[in-house]
Chains A and B, each alone.
Chain A
Amino acid sequence: AQTVTQSQPEMSVQEAETVTLSCTYDTSESDYYLFWYKQPPSRQMILVIRQEAYKQQNATENRFSVNFQKAAKSFSLKISDSQLGDAAMYFCAYRSSSGGSNYKLTFGKGTLLTVNP
Protein backbone atom coordinates (compact mmCIF):
# COMPACT_ATOMS: atom_id res chain seq x y z
CA ALA A 1 0.00 0.00 0.00
CA GLN A 2 1.15 3.49 -0.71
CA THR A 3 2.12 5.77 2.15
CA VAL A 4 2.66 9.51 2.27
CA THR A 5 4.88 11.11 4.90
CA GLN A 6 5.04 14.75 5.87
CA SER A 7 7.86 15.05 8.35
CA GLN A 8 7.17 18.63 9.43
CA PRO A 9 4.08 18.84 11.66
CA GLU A 10 4.46 22.63 11.86
CA MET A 11 6.30 25.32 9.95
CA SER A 12 6.39 29.08 10.17
CA VAL A 13 7.42 31.77 7.72
CA GLN A 14 7.62 35.54 7.70
CA GLU A 15 5.29 37.36 5.38
CA ALA A 16 6.89 37.87 1.92
CA GLU A 17 9.46 35.16 2.57
CA THR A 18 9.73 31.71 0.97
CA VAL A 19 8.96 28.41 2.67
CA THR A 20 9.27 24.80 1.55
CA LEU A 21 7.07 21.99 2.84
CA SER A 22 8.38 18.45 2.54
CA CYS A 23 6.60 15.30 1.42
CA THR A 24 7.87 11.82 0.68
CA TYR A 25 5.90 8.85 -0.50
CA ASP A 26 6.35 5.17 -0.95
CA THR A 27 5.08 3.34 -4.02
CA SER A 28 6.08 0.59 -6.39
CA GLU A 29 4.14 2.14 -9.25
CA SER A 30 5.66 4.15 -12.07
CA ASP A 31 2.62 6.19 -13.03
CA TYR A 32 0.69 8.17 -10.44
CA TYR A 33 -0.45 11.64 -9.44
CA LEU A 34 0.65 13.85 -6.59
CA PHE A 35 -1.23 16.78 -5.12
CA TRP A 36 -0.95 19.46 -2.51
CA TYR A 37 -4.16 20.53 -0.81
CA LYS A 38 -4.63 23.46 1.53
CA GLN A 39 -7.05 23.39 4.45
CA PRO A 40 -7.57 26.83 6.02
CA PRO A 41 -9.47 27.34 9.29
CA SER A 42 -12.74 27.08 7.34
CA ARG A 43 -11.79 23.38 6.88
CA GLN A 44 -12.44 23.52 3.14
CA MET A 45 -10.00 21.32 1.16
CA ILE A 46 -8.56 23.43 -1.62
CA LEU A 47 -6.41 22.07 -4.44
CA VAL A 48 -3.13 23.95 -4.61
CA ILE A 49 -1.14 22.12 -7.25
CA ARG A 50 -0.88 18.77 -9.00
CA GLN A 51 1.92 16.78 -10.60
CA GLU A 52 1.71 13.81 -12.93
CA ALA A 53 4.57 11.38 -12.38
CA TYR A 54 5.32 10.90 -16.06
CA LYS A 55 5.98 14.61 -16.47
CA GLN A 56 9.54 15.58 -15.60
CA GLN A 57 8.78 19.30 -15.49
CA ASN A 58 7.89 20.60 -12.07
CA ALA A 59 4.40 22.06 -11.78
CA THR A 60 3.92 25.74 -11.00
CA GLU A 61 0.83 27.72 -10.05
CA ASN A 62 1.57 31.40 -9.46
CA ARG A 63 3.48 31.59 -6.14
CA PHE A 64 3.31 27.84 -5.62
CA SER A 65 5.76 25.41 -7.18
CA VAL A 66 6.87 21.87 -6.53
CA ASN A 67 10.18 20.06 -6.57
CA PHE A 68 9.34 16.58 -7.82
CA GLN A 69 12.14 14.07 -7.44
CA LYS A 70 10.74 10.80 -8.73
CA ALA A 71 13.74 8.61 -7.96
CA ALA A 72 13.88 9.92 -4.41
CA LYS A 73 10.07 9.77 -4.11
CA SER A 74 10.01 13.32 -2.91
CA PHE A 75 7.43 16.02 -3.64
CA SER A 76 8.06 19.30 -1.84
CA LEU A 77 5.95 22.46 -2.09
CA LYS A 78 7.56 25.88 -2.28
CA ILE A 79 5.52 28.94 -1.44
CA SER A 80 7.10 32.18 -2.57
CA ASP A 81 6.24 35.66 -1.30
CA SER A 82 4.19 34.17 1.53
CA GLN A 83 0.96 35.95 2.39
CA LEU A 84 -1.14 35.91 5.53
CA GLY A 85 -3.82 34.05 3.61
CA ASP A 86 -1.42 31.16 3.03
CA ALA A 87 -1.70 30.18 6.68
CA ALA A 88 -3.35 26.76 6.72
CA MET A 89 -2.82 23.05 7.07
CA TYR A 90 -1.20 21.64 3.94
CA PHE A 91 -1.71 18.04 2.88
CA CYS A 92 0.33 16.07 0.41
CA ALA A 93 -1.69 13.39 -1.38
CA TYR A 94 -1.00 10.47 -3.71
CA ARG A 95 -3.28 8.88 -6.26
CA SER A 96 -2.50 5.76 -8.19
CA SER A 97 -3.20 5.78 -11.90
CA SER A 98 -3.65 2.02 -11.89
CA GLY A 99 -6.06 1.65 -9.02
CA GLY A 100 -8.81 0.24 -11.16
CA SER A 101 -11.97 2.18 -10.60
CA ASN A 102 -10.95 3.71 -7.28
CA TYR A 103 -9.20 7.03 -7.52
CA LYS A 104 -8.65 7.11 -3.78
CA LEU A 105 -6.34 9.77 -2.43
CA THR A 106 -3.81 8.73 0.19
CA PHE A 107 -3.00 11.72 2.38
CA GLY A 108 -0.10 12.63 4.58
CA LYS A 109 -0.73 13.81 8.15
CA GLY A 110 -0.37 17.45 7.17
CA THR A 111 1.89 20.42 7.91
CA LEU A 112 0.47 23.39 9.76
CA LEU A 113 1.87 26.58 8.22
CA THR A 114 1.88 29.81 10.21
CA VAL A 115 2.61 33.10 8.44
CA ASN A 116 3.97 35.83 10.70
CA PRO A 117 3.35 39.49 9.79
Chain B
Amino acid sequence: EAQVTQNPRYLITVTGKKLTVTCSQNMNHEYMSWYRQDPGLGLRQIYYSMNVEVTDKGDVPEGYKVSRKEKRNFPLILESPSPNQTSLYFCASSSQRGPQYFGPGTRLLVL
Protein backbone atom coordinates (compact mmCIF):
# COMPACT_ATOMS: atom_id res chain seq x y z
CA GLU B 1 0.00 0.00 0.00
CA ALA B 2 1.33 3.41 -1.03
CA GLN B 3 1.71 5.54 2.05
CA VAL B 4 3.59 8.10 4.07
CA THR B 5 4.34 7.09 7.63
CA GLN B 6 5.33 9.25 10.58
CA ASN B 7 6.56 8.36 14.03
CA PRO B 8 5.75 9.03 16.73
CA ARG B 9 2.11 9.95 16.30
CA TYR B 10 1.96 11.66 19.69
CA LEU B 11 4.77 13.12 21.74
CA ILE B 12 4.98 15.05 24.97
CA THR B 13 8.39 16.45 25.80
CA VAL B 14 10.05 19.20 27.79
CA THR B 15 11.79 22.34 26.67
CA GLY B 16 15.30 21.74 25.39
CA LYS B 17 15.16 17.97 25.00
CA LYS B 18 16.19 17.08 21.45
CA LEU B 19 13.70 15.04 19.46
CA THR B 20 13.31 13.58 15.99
CA VAL B 21 10.11 12.91 14.10
CA THR B 22 10.62 10.34 11.38
CA CYS B 23 8.93 10.34 7.98
CA SER B 24 9.09 7.61 5.38
CA GLN B 25 7.38 7.12 2.01
CA ASN B 26 7.23 4.05 -0.19
CA MET B 27 6.20 5.73 -3.45
CA ASN B 28 9.71 6.59 -4.69
CA HIS B 29 8.82 10.29 -4.61
CA GLU B 30 11.58 12.80 -5.18
CA TYR B 31 9.86 15.61 -3.28
CA MET B 32 9.20 15.60 0.45
CA SER B 33 8.10 18.37 2.75
CA TRP B 34 7.22 19.16 6.35
CA TYR B 35 4.27 21.34 7.39
CA ARG B 36 2.95 22.44 10.73
CA GLN B 37 -0.70 23.14 11.42
CA ASP B 38 -1.78 25.63 14.06
CA PRO B 39 -5.21 27.05 14.90
CA GLY B 40 -5.77 30.34 13.14
CA LEU B 41 -2.55 30.03 11.14
CA GLY B 42 -3.39 27.06 8.96
CA LEU B 43 -0.72 24.86 7.41
CA ARG B 44 2.71 26.33 6.91
CA GLN B 45 5.74 24.78 5.27
CA ILE B 46 8.81 24.20 7.42
CA TYR B 47 11.35 22.54 5.11
CA TYR B 48 11.33 20.69 1.85
CA SER B 49 13.60 18.41 -0.14
CA MET B 50 13.77 17.81 -3.86
CA ASN B 51 16.03 14.80 -3.65
CA VAL B 52 18.72 13.07 -1.62
CA GLU B 53 21.06 15.58 0.02
CA VAL B 54 18.99 18.51 -1.36
CA THR B 55 17.00 20.40 1.27
CA ASP B 56 15.84 23.97 1.66
CA LYS B 57 13.89 26.22 4.01
CA GLY B 58 10.18 26.77 3.77
CA ASP B 59 8.25 29.59 5.41
CA VAL B 60 8.88 28.78 9.08
CA PRO B 61 12.23 26.94 9.40
CA GLU B 62 13.48 28.50 12.65
CA GLY B 63 14.16 25.91 15.32
CA TYR B 64 14.05 22.95 12.95
CA LYS B 65 16.53 20.86 11.02
CA VAL B 66 16.04 18.19 8.40
CA SER B 67 18.16 15.69 6.52
CA ARG B 68 17.66 13.59 3.39
CA LYS B 69 20.21 10.81 3.33
CA GLU B 70 17.89 8.33 1.66
CA LYS B 71 15.17 8.99 -0.86
CA ARG B 72 12.43 7.44 1.24
CA ASN B 73 13.22 9.14 4.57
CA PHE B 74 12.98 12.78 5.63
CA PRO B 75 13.29 13.21 9.42
CA LEU B 76 12.44 16.46 11.20
CA ILE B 77 14.78 17.35 14.03
CA LEU B 78 14.06 19.75 16.88
CA GLU B 79 17.44 20.35 18.53
CA SER B 80 16.07 22.36 21.46
CA PRO B 81 12.27 22.32 21.42
CA SER B 82 10.36 25.26 22.86
CA PRO B 83 6.66 25.59 23.79
CA ASN B 84 5.95 27.58 20.60
CA GLN B 85 6.77 24.44 18.64
CA THR B 86 3.74 22.71 20.11
CA SER B 87 1.79 21.86 16.99
CA LEU B 88 0.47 19.21 14.62
CA TYR B 89 3.17 18.22 12.15
CA PHE B 90 2.66 16.66 8.74
CA CYS B 91 5.10 15.09 6.37
CA ALA B 92 4.13 14.97 2.69
CA SER B 93 5.60 13.58 -0.51
CA SER B 94 4.92 13.85 -4.21
CA SER B 95 6.28 13.25 -7.66
CA GLN B 96 7.02 16.24 -9.89
CA ARG B 97 3.53 16.66 -11.28
CA GLY B 98 1.57 14.60 -8.79
CA PRO B 99 -0.43 15.60 -5.74
CA GLN B 100 1.12 15.63 -2.30
CA TYR B 101 0.26 12.70 -0.06
CA PHE B 102 0.34 13.35 3.64
CA GLY B 103 1.38 11.25 6.59
CA PRO B 104 -1.04 10.75 9.51
CA GLY B 105 0.39 13.65 11.48
CA THR B 106 2.39 13.95 14.70
CA ARG B 107 0.93 15.83 17.64
CA LEU B 108 3.72 17.44 19.63
CA LEU B 109 3.35 19.08 23.03
CA VAL B 110 6.39 20.87 24.43
CA LEU B 111 6.12 21.71 28.12
Interface residues, chain A, with chain B CB atoms under 8 Å away: 33, 35, 37, 42-47, 50, 91, 95, 97, 101-105, 107-110
Across the interface, A45 reaches (CB within 8 A) one of B58, B97, B105, namely B105
B31 at the interface (CB under 8 A from A): yes
Known: A45-B105, A47-B101. A102 touches B88 (CB 8 A): no
Most chain A beta carbons < 10 A, residue from B48, B58, B97, B102? B102
Known: A45-B90, A109-B42. A33 touches B99 (CB 8 A): yes
User: For residue A52, which residue of chain B has the nearest CB?
Assistant: B97
Across the interface, B43 reaches (CB within 8 A) one of A50, A91, A95, namely A91
25 contacts between A and B (CB under 8 A): A33-B97, A35-B99, A35-B100, A42-B104, A43-B104, A44-B102, A45-B90, A45-B105, A46-B102, A47-B101, A47-B102, A50-B99, A101-B31, A101-B48, A102-B48, A102-B56, A102-B58, A103-B48, A103-B94, A103-B96, A104-B48, A105-B35, A105-B43, A105-B45, A107-B42
- The A-contacting residues of B in range 59-105, CB under 8 angstroms, are 59, 88, 90, 92, 94, 96-97, 99-102, 104-105
Known: A101-B50, A102-B58. A47 touches B45 (CB 8 A): no
Interface residues, chain B, with chain A CB atoms under 8 Å away: 31, 33, 35, 42-43, 45, 48, 50, 54, 56, 58-59, 88, 90, 92, 94, 96-97, 99-102, 104-105, 107
Q: How far is the CB of A20 from chain B (nearest CB, A)?
A: 21
Across the interface, A107 reaches (CB within 8 A) one of B31, B43, B105, namely B43
* 7 nearest CB pairs, A to B: A45-B102, A101-B50, A107-B43, A104-B45, A50-B99, A43-B105, A103-B31
Residues of B within 8 A of A108 (CB): 42
Known: A91-B43, A110-B42. A101 touches B54 (CB 8 A): yes
